[in-house]
C-alpha cells in the first residue's frame, strides 16, 4: 500500500487539526456552554482543564508551539483519566474514559512528531 505513502504528511496534518479542534470544543463547552451546556458545575480542576483544552487546542490546531501544547494536553488527559475514569474500572470502554485515553496518546504522539505541514512554526 505504498501508493498511500505520499499522502502521509497530509493525513497527519488533518489528524492534528481535527483532533485539536475536537479538543478545544471541550474547553468551549466548559467555559462558554458552547456548543452545548456542560452538565456539571465547574470547580478549580475542571476550569483549569477547560483553559488547557481551549488554549492547547488552538495552538495545536494552528501548529504554533504545538509540541509543548500537545505535551501539556497529553498530561492533562492522563491526569483526567486517572482522576475521573481509571479508578472506576480497568477498561476504558466500561469506565467511560475512551476519549480521554485517546486524547492522551494522540497528543503524546503529536508532541513527539511535531506539527508537520500546515503549521505556523515547527516547535
Rounded to 5°, angle at Cα 114 from 108 and 118: 125
Instruction: For the chain, give the percent of residues with pLDDT over 90.
Output: 95
pLDDT at 72 exceeding the cut of 80: yes
C-alpha 123/C-alpha 110 separation (Å) is 11
CA distance 123 to 118: 13
Measured distance CA(31)–CA(101) in Å, rounded: 22
**What residue spans define the domains of the chain?**
12-113
pLDDT in tens, 1-50: 688 999 999 999 999 999 999 999 999 999 999 999 999 999 999 999 99
Residue spans of beta strands (DSSP E) within 32-116: none
Cell of 97: 474514559
Amino acid at each position: 500500500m505504498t501508493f498511500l505513502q505520499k499522502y502521509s504528511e497530509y493525513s497527519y496534518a488533518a489528524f492534528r487539526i481535527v483532533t485539536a479542534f475536537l479538543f478545544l470544543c471541550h474547553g468551549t463547552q466548559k467555559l462558554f456552554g458552547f456548543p452545548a451546556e456542560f452538565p456539571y458545575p465547574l470547580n478549580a480542576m475542571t476550569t483549569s482543564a477547560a483553559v488547557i483544552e481551549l488554549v492547547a487546542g488552538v495552538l495545536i490546531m494552528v501548529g504554533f508551539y504545538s509540541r509543548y501544547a500537545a505535551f501539556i494536553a497529553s498530561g492533562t488527559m492522563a491526569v483526567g483519566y486517572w482522576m475521573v475514569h481509571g479508578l472506576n474500572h480497568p477498561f476504558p470502554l466500561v469506565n467511560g474514559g475512551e476519549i480521554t485515553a485517546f486524547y492522551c496518546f494522540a497528543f503524546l504522539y503529536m508532541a513527539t512528531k511535531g506539527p508537520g505541514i500546515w503549521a505556523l512554526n515547527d516547535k
